[in-house]
Amino acid sequence: MGARWLHRGSVQLWVSAPQFEHDLLEGLNPEQRSAVTAPPGPMIVLAGPGSGKTRVLTSRIGFLMRHGALPSTIVAVTFTNKAANEMRNRIKKVLGIKHDSKLQVTVGTFHRVCLDILREFGHHVGLECNFLIFNADQQKELVIQAMGELGISTEKMQPRVLTSAISNLKSQNLGPQSAAEFQRSGQAPWNPKFVNTVQRVYEIYQEELRRSNAVDFDDILLFTLRLLQQYPGITAELQARWQHLLVDEWQDTNVPQYSLVQLLAAPSGGRVLPSVFVVGDADQSIYGWRGADFTNVERFQKEFTADRILLQHNYRSTSTIVEAAQSVIERNAGRVDKTMISTNPGGALVKLHEVWDDQEEASFVARQSKRLVESGVLLAGYREIAVMYRTNQQSRMMEEQFVRNGVPYQLIGATKFYERREVKDLLAYLRVLANPDDSVSLLRIINVPPRGIGKATVDRVQGLATLWGCSVFQAVKRLSESRQDDVPSATAVADRESDGEAKFSLENLDEAMASLTSALESLPETPARGERGGGRQDQERQLGPTQRAAMQAGLKDRALNSLVCFWEVLETLREGAALCTPAETLELVIAVSQFQDHLMKDESFDERWANIGELSKASGRVTEPGIEGLVLFLEEVALVAGDDNELEEEIKLDIDVKKDPRVKLMTLHSSKGLEFDVVFMVGMVEGKLPHDKCSKTLDEVEEVRVVSAHCNTPQLTAPHCYTL
């Protein structure tokens, strides 16, 4: 007998055959089975490393669906896009689904789920439909701008320090006025002067985000939280829509994320308790520096009166590694007592190798790696070796020694794909087309490729934008339209020639470019002072208010003509973007801006042009035309580029990183979830691990124990430098 639906009024019940259920639970240990089959309600699963938590989550989803839950009522939240993709694929396998279009379960990161909510309801909290997400570079530019307004030198204070401080406040759901309270609570070692600086910069930063119709990553969570708190009707609608909530990596949640789960998890379907299922382990919390609060594990159990299940069998590592990790992590205070047990007995011993300095350390690691491969100990070659360190700066010495010893290596988390200059330039063009008020992106491309718009001109345009209370885009538009009063624009010429019909396409691009060139060559030169008669005041009286403001700001004819040129380029691109897919719009940007000619002057043209090819491939994944499609593509880019997992920023890494036949060099934080046969942990000295910039609180030292203890590998070697 197979599984079938039974209808009871508007309620659909899933009746499953015993064999069908047996397949779902086959291979699970008793604790995993208990977690999967628990009745809907608050549940926390404390899952140690390698204990099969992802299988438990996906099996839980399958179990819920086979017992009456509609797939559209289930939401599974993870912390990285990679984890979300893995979970999505496993759910499809469990349910026997081949295509994503058939999977109605919502699976994504906190930011992805919240972004979907804001796209639907964001107008209630002041967000326009085409709002964009500012990346780290754009956030830094806004902070630098705020510092400039306040007369704070970037030489005396690094912008990233203030960016980090603002993010720390947001991770606690605190606004600018709460900076002093945050400092007094002991959560940040700030002095009163710095607190005042953070508060003022934060205020300007947030106002510029609003003016740019943009949010940063923290705001995605905070705007969603504000929406749910201020509009109970919307909250109730989402609670009814999503009746089963599952969250992975619970120990890495921060204050806003915990609050979001509290608001979204509510009793429904006639149940007394909310169906919320979280998986985490305080022993694996390694993101305290970004606001994660491992105490949410204990808090959830108390506030939700949740049942608890421990997963203590490690299926990944040898008993030697597991016992070593256990002996380190059990020293942490405030943890749930659990003892991990390996299903793989024995294993190589953990080795501690002492050296004099980092050069000898790097030489040792390179020589040992080479010996392991050449002696045949590692049949899979260099790809099964990883070198881990606390900060990226520690890779330099390793790279030097690997080159000297002829050992191939891959540096993980170096120049990431979306941080490459040519990629950032083209994405800035696309952002401006999607959201013209994005002044940060506009200022990035205003002279790329070079078009005679220097820093002095940019400063004057920014000054006019401030004077007029508008974005830089609106200021450029106002100047250009004023300049062109007596000359029809290229767009107007094209419209007139097509009898007012919008016939833009890539096929008639040459014609549009010819019209643009003709119009620009017709731009007027302002008469010289002697030709007008009178002095400067007489000239100003003859000008309109916009031209008068431009003259007073010091904008000369050449600068104004260059601005008009830039404006005409944007107008041509905006007309095309309204009709094209993201891939076609990207092609149009490259053609109209003559970006390829610009890159050909670079010695690394081939590499940069190949990167643009990869970007074009990525843009082709979104086929919806117009601005809506462009916003969707930029949204996907922002979520991937902003992911905490550094590996995912490499757009070329659709191929598993482990397939690359080189030694992997990476930070400890970026290694989470990866497995290697041999791991070298370097820099195990005071000042590097824990880092000397840490405040040395107990929590931070314990976090170091967490990072060090969870290396899931058969062989672990820790070179240790003497303190000289």
Contact by Cβ (8 Å): 429, 589: yes
Please report whether residue 323 resides in a domain. no
Half-sphere exposure of 11 (CA within 13 A, CB side): 9
Q: Is 45 helix (H, G, I), strand (E, B) or coil?
A: strand
- pLDDT given for residue 530 in this prediction: 42
Q: Give yes or no for residue 485 having a pLDDT over 80.
A: no
Same domain, 543 and 620: yes
Same domain, 362 and 383: yes
Give 157's contacts (C-beta < 8 A, 6+ positions apart): 147, 197
Same domain, 557 and 674: no
Contact by Cβ (8 Å): 263, 228: yes
- pLDDT given for residue 342 in this prediction: 82
Same domain, 441 and 454: yes
Q: How many domains does the chain have?
A: 4
- What confidence tens digit (pLDDT) does each residue in 565-574 have? 999 999 999 9
Please report whether residue 384 resides in a domain. yes
Same domain, 259 and 161: no
- pLDDT given for residue 66 in this prediction: 85
> Which among 647, 661, 708, 720 is positioned nearest to 385, based on CA atoms?
661
> Which among 569, 558, 555, 567 is positioned nearest to 457, based on CA atoms?
555
> Which among 648, 649, 620, 645 is positioned nearest to 632, based on CA atoms?
620
In angstroms, the Cα distances linking 402 to 112, 209, 364, 395, 721 are: 39, 44, 10, 10, 19
Gyration radius (Cα) of the chain, Å: 29
Q: What is the mean pLDDT of residues 589-593?
A: 93
- What confidence tens digit (pLDDT) does each residue in 11-56 have? 334 344 344 455 778 889 999 999 999 999 999 999 888 888 888 9
Same domain, 691 and 591: no
> Which among 402, 391, 376, 352 is positioned nearest to 663, based on CA atoms?
402
- pLDDT given for residue 449 in this prediction: 93
Same domain, 490 and 581: yes
Same domain, 204 and 353: no
Same domain, 408 and 465: no
- Give the chain's mean pLDDT: 79
| Residue ending a domain, choose from 188, 211, 234 | 211
Cα 575 from chain centre: 30
Cα 587 from chain centre: 25
Same domain, 398 and 544: no
Same domain, 34 and 67: yes
Please report whether residue 9 resides in a domain. no
Q: What is the mean pLDDT of residues 373-400?
A: 85
CA distance 94 to 101: 16
> Which among 331, 297, 329 is positioned nearest to 314, based on CA atoms?
329
Same domain, 466 and 566: yes
Please report whether residue 108 resides in a domain. yes
- What confidence tens digit (pLDDT) does each residue in 62-114 have? 899 888 889 899 999 988 887 888 888 888 887 777 776 677 889 999 999 99
Domain that holds residue 164: 135-211
User: Where residue 107 sits, what CATH number does that domain have?
Assistant: 3.40.50.300
Q: Give yes or no for residue 3 having a pLDDT over 80.
A: no
> Which among 81, 83, 41, 79 is positioned nearest to 60, based on CA atoms?
41
Please report whether residue 10 resides in a domain. no
- Beta strands 4-8 and 11-15 are antiparallel
Please report whether residue 470 resides in a domain. yes
For residues 32 and 676, which has the higher predicted lDDT (pLDDT)? 32
Contact by Cβ (8 Å): 683, 390: yes
Please report whether residue 100 resides in a domain. yes
Question: Would you tell me how many other CB atoms lie within 10 Å of the CB of residue 15?
Answer: 14
Cα 308 from chain centre: 32
Contact by Cβ (8 Å): 299, 258: yes
690: preceding bond cis by omega (within 30 degrees): yes
Q: Give yes or no for residue 122 having a pLDDT over 90.
A: yes
| Residue ending a domain, choose from 261, 289, 311 | 311
Please report whether residue 706 resides in a domain. yes
- pLDDT given for residue 543 in this prediction: 54
| Residue ending a domain, choose from 271, 296, 311 | 311
Q: Give yes or no for residue 142 having a pLDDT over 50.
A: yes
Q: Give yes or no for residue 283 having a pLDDT over 50.
A: yes
